[in-house]
Amino acid sequence: EDHILEVKNLQKHFHLSGDRVLKAVDGLNFSIKRGETFGLVGESGCGKSTTGRTIIRLYEATGGEVLFNGKDIQKLSGDDRKKFRRDMQMVFQDPYASLNPRMTVGKIISEGMDIHGLYTGKKRKERVSQLLTDVGLNEEHAGRFPHEFSGGQRQRIGIARALAIEPQFIIADEPISALDVSVQAQVVNLFKKLQKEHGLTYLFIAHDLAMVKHISDRIGVMYLGKLVEVATSDELNAKPLHPYTQSLLSAIPIPDPDLQKQRKRVILQGEIPSPLNPPSGCPFRTRCPHAMPECAATMPPFKEVEPGHFAACHLL
């Protein structure tokens, strides 16, 4: 199969003062097919943003590998490295903090084109206008400054900036969670439209499974730095295997009252443990309604339970 991204045993540990180690990302395995949207979900602090940042090399991995178009991103040099910086782009969570307030929108969008020597003069101007139109803004906006725009419009500018250098792959880190509910759907629809028009592949990071399951082809569920389940969105929704996924899904209201009755609400006990001091064995065991002695003793392997459906739980 044509995988644009393969993540193998990826690890990002932060060494803190007092010999403490924060295992933010601790041995992830998943891959993303060209043209699909892979949703990465989990509660805040589970390591999903760190995963995105390590894949795009804002952070250096402390273990494992990331293959992009078959090449190990940590070993790229020269032209391959330059190409990688074009091919993979990021859209950030906070549209207020991620745009330079002193730069015009036109300058913000064309900065990457400067770096990569793409389009000059009249072509550049046309390209900026086209990008603004593509994201639902217009060419007059090029001369304005970020503070003149709403949150949703700023996120559109952030998306235009990411698109400017014609990437193949976009990591969107909670791109709608800072926006008003009324504009969230519009921005999600924009992502979908642009995916079709530009043949993009997305890693879509979110804490909200209800949202991610609509936009994603496949989903990975993270808990305390580890993936606990990966499946297609449909499969995960119909047949979640991991107790954590089951609890997340059970919290999402279903319009059909009969289905809603079948899906018993699973309420988790306790808080997410500190990632600085994770439980032994299965990371979920302190909150799992099915925890057994074995769960404290050994970490369940992340295995393919059914074709294309992976999960890590001793019950499986």
**Which stretches of the chain bind ligand SF4, using CB under 6 A?**
243, 282, 284-285, 288, 290-292, 295, 300, 313-315
User: Residue 47 binds which entry of ligand SF4, Mg ion, none, with Cβ cut-offs from 5 to 8 Å by kind?
Assistant: none
Give the residue with the Cβ less far from ligand SF4, 42 or 243: 243
49 binds, among Mg ion, ligand SF4, none (CB under 5 to 8 A by kind): Mg ion
State in angstroms the smallest separation of the CB of 174 from Mg ion. 6
**295 touches, from Mg ion, ligand SF4, none (C-beta below 5 to 8 Å by class):** ligand SF4
Residues binding Mg ion (CB under 5 A): 49
Considering beta carbons, is residue 49 or 155 the nearer one to Mg ion? 49
**In this structure, what DSSP letter does residue 73 have?**
G
E strand or H helix at 186, and its extent?
Answer: helix 181-198
As measured in angstroms, the least distance from the Cβ of 247 to ligand SF4 is: 10
Using CA atoms, how far apart are residues 113 and 123, in angstroms rounded to an integer? 11
Which partner from the list Mg ion, ligand SF4, none does 89 bind, CB cut-off 5 to 8 Å by kind?
none
CA–CA gap between residue 176 and residue 312 (Å, rounded): 29
Question: Of 4, 9, 10, 2, nearest to 203 (Cα)?
Answer: 4
Beta-carbon contacts of residue 313 (< 8 Å; ≥ 6 apart): 228, 241, 242, 243, 282, 300
**Rounded Cα gap, residues 267 and 251, in angstroms:** 8
Closer residue to ligand SF4, CB minimum distance, 185 or 292: 292
Work out the widest C-alpha separation in the chain, in whole angstroms: 69
Provide the minimum distance between the beta carbon of 241 and ligand SF4 in the complex, in angstroms, as a whole number: 10
Minimum Å gap between C-beta 230 and ligand SF4 is 15
**Type of residue numbered 21:** V
Nearest approach in angstroms of CB 54 to Mg ion is: 13
Nearer to ligand SF4, 115 or 296 (CB): 296
Nearer to ligand SF4 among residue 120 and residue 298 (C-beta): 298
* Closest to Mg ion by CB, 176 or 311: 176
Alpha helices in 8-120 (DSSP H): 48-55, 78-87, 105-116
Burial class (CB in 10 A: 0-12, 13-18, 19+), 117: exposed
Tokens 């709403």, residue located: 150
